[in-house]
Amino acid sequence: EATTGSRRRALKKRHGCLPNKELPTKNRFLVFGIDFIRRNIRAYKDHKLLEAWGACLTDNNAHTISMHVLGQSIFLTDDPENVKTILATDFEKWSIGRERIKHISAYLGKGIFTTEGAAWKHSREMLRPCFERSQVADISIMDNHTNRFMNLIPKDGTTIDLQPLFHQLTLDIATDFLFGKSTNALDHSKGDIEVEEFIKAFEYCQNPFLGEDEARFGWFSEVLRQWFSNRKFKIATKTIADFTDKIIDEEIASKVSKDRAQPDRYVFLNELLSQTSDRIHVRSELLNILLAGRDTTAALLSNVVWELSRQPSITTRLRQEVAEHIGDEVPTYQQLKDMRYLKAIINESQRLYPIVPSNSREAIEDTILPRGGGPDESSPLFIPKRAYVAYHSYSMHRRPDIFGSDADIFNPTRWLDEEREDGALRPGWAYLPFNGGPRICIGQQFALTEAMFVVVRLLQTFPVMESRDDEVWREKMSLTCTGLGGCKVGLKSVN
Ligand code: HEM
């Protein structure tokens, strides 16, 4: 019978694999990659982790490189061909990773974001029609909450950081859309204890260590969280479940009595209940979507408005587009879809500041990536079972050989084919803000509609928008990535 070694040799030979580039370690005796970890903690504290990972590649003239950390083989790549193989061509051979499944399902339960194989397929099929039917219907939900958001902004140019408000806004919209009952976090006048407890518990479970121990443990608080499950975590998990179950029970009861308050309104939970009556499953799916859909859209809004406030000429052109397409009216879904310049701005923001800047997959079996082997990296590369491959969209999105010599500059017109001198930009797998392949973000359309809606309403309400931030963009990393400096602006309702 063939040994693992001989099987691997045969596999490498059959595919013509060559060795890949390795990250040089300062001290060969530090076999667990301690120097790499130290460098990472420092970079995390300086809010330069994304740059540091990018430098692992560029400093070594590599697009795929390997390293050994705590006895684990990790590959890092910004090669679109490899990313395509992992996410699409060889989808079945890659797992989202045992760590992610264990950690996130501990408080959300099993749903689309935390399962794989047949269970994931089932979730995806069940949720797809809910998302398709939702597309046009939620403008009214967005409008209500966005109005409340606008009312909280000073109209006389006083400096305000919009970032925390964006997080409240996207939470209110997401819960209204999913549950049919909003957290109304933007309603600062009345406190709903149950809602406050739910928000606190949900945020705590995402970052139980980051709050208190970030300063002490830095990047490692993430790892520590996975090692210690504490009582507080369990209580928070129960709070989340109880809050959601109550809403589900109310919805089931109102269905039975046919006494629904707003029979014509689209409620995701309602759609979901028409697919399954398994209450725990419904709860887990809702919470999975809430996690995936809430902070991501807030981070995008924060980055887009931060950039617009610093780029008067881009904003002036965008105002013209709003005036031509929409005027002062509340935009419709179709009008938003037709706003090509706004879409280009959002594309460009997600290119330079991707909300999920780095992601990874774990090899389920010994497998092959098409590139990264040999000195010029053009040969296939062998990946052993259980190795992690991190794909770094942040540096892929900034590759000058793909996006041009101005890849570091914010220039939305690169997305408008007719305005490019060198022909159309077709980045394909080199541009991945919403991931790709069968697990591509299912809420992409919802997120884009929401972000566009809020930006348009902001510009319509405030003819003057000024930046109140002189710093360069720096990252704030948690499950998602957003700007460290927030989104400090001064807005005026009259010129
Ligand atoms: C700008 C906003 C958003 C960004 C940048 C974003 C990005 C992503 C990315 C990169 C993934 C892939 C994660 C992975 O497989 O490792 C993903 C998955 C997902 N997203 Fe989004 N997302 C956004 C908004 C939303 C919204 C608004 C919703 C729902 C309302 C949503 C629901 C989901 C779900 C359910 C998945 C899991 C899909 C699956 O595994 O089949 N996302 N998203």
Give one DSSP letter per residue of 110-138, joined into a string: SSTTT--HHHHHHHHHHHHHHHHHHTTTT
Mean pLDDT, residues 342-365: 97
pLDDT at 32: 55
| Residues in contact with 271: Cβ distance below 8 Å, sequence separation at least 6, in sequence order | 129, 130, 133, 134
Handedness of CA 299, 305, 309, 312 (dihedral sign): positive
Whether 52 has a pLDDT exceeding 70, the answer reads yes
Q: Is 239 in the pocket of ligand 1 (CB under 6 A)?
A: no
Mean pLDDT, residues 355-364: 95
Cα 459 to Cα 274: distance, rounded to the nearest angstrom? 39
pLDDT at 137: 60
Cα 141 to Cα 263: distance, rounded to the nearest angstrom? 15
Mean pLDDT, residues 413-419: 92
Mean pLDDT, residues 211-230: 55
Band of residue 179 on the pLDDT scale cut at 50, 70, 90? confident
Going from the Cα of 434 to the center of ligand 1, the distance in angstroms, rounded, reads 6
| In this structure, CATH architecture of domain 4-492 | Orthogonal Bundle (1.10)
Whether 304 has a pLDDT exceeding 50, the answer reads yes
What is the DSSP code (8-state) at residue 53? Answer: H
HSE value, Cβ hemisphere, 13 Å, CA-based, for 278: 10
Residue 330 amino acid letter: V
| Residues in contact with 270: Cβ distance below 8 Å, sequence separation at least 6, in sequence order | 180, 251, 255
Pairing of strands 475-477, 464-467: unpaired
Ligand 1 pocket test, candidate residues 104, 441, 450, most atoms within 8 A of CB:
441
Contact of 116 with 97, CB cutoff 8 Å: no
Q: What is the mean pLDDT of the chain?
A: 89
The 10s digit of each residue's pLDDT in 8-51 is 999 999 999 999 999 887 554 445 567 777 777 788 888 889 99
Q: Is 82 in the pocket of ligand 1 (CB under 6 A)?
A: no
The 10s digit of each residue's pLDDT in 81-131 is 999 999 999 999 999 998 888 888 888 889 999 999 999 999 999 888 888
Token pair for residue 431?
């541009």
**Beta strands of 235-340 (E only): which ranges?**
none
Handedness of CA 435, 301, 297, 451 (dihedral sign): negative
Band of residue 227 on the pLDDT scale cut at 50, 70, 90? low
Does the annotation place 17 within a ligand binding site?
A: no
Comparison of pLDDT for 224 and 65, the residue scoring more: 65
Mean pLDDT, residues 210-218: 51
Ligand 1 pocket test, candidate residues 296, 349, 389, 392, most atoms within 8 A of CB:
296
Whether 435 has a pLDDT exceeding 80, the answer reads yes
**Candidate from 124-133, 313-322, 388-397, 438-447 with smallest mean pLDDT:** 124-133
Whether 229 has a pLDDT exceeding 90, the answer reads no
Mean pLDDT, residues 143-169: 96
Whether 215 has a pLDDT exceeding 60, the answer reads no
Q: Is 343 in the pocket of ligand 1 (CB under 6 A)?
A: no
pLDDT at 29: 46
Contact of 244 with 255, CB cutoff 8 Å: no
Whether 140 has a pLDDT exceeding 50, the answer reads yes
Give the bridge partners for 460, in sequence order. none
Dihedral class, residue 247 (left if φ above 0, else alpha if ψ from -120 to 50, else beta): alpha
Whether 237 has a pLDDT exceeding 50, the answer reads yes
Cα 143 to Cα 296: distance, rounded to the nearest angstrom? 19
Comparison of pLDDT for 191 and 214, the residue scoring more: 191
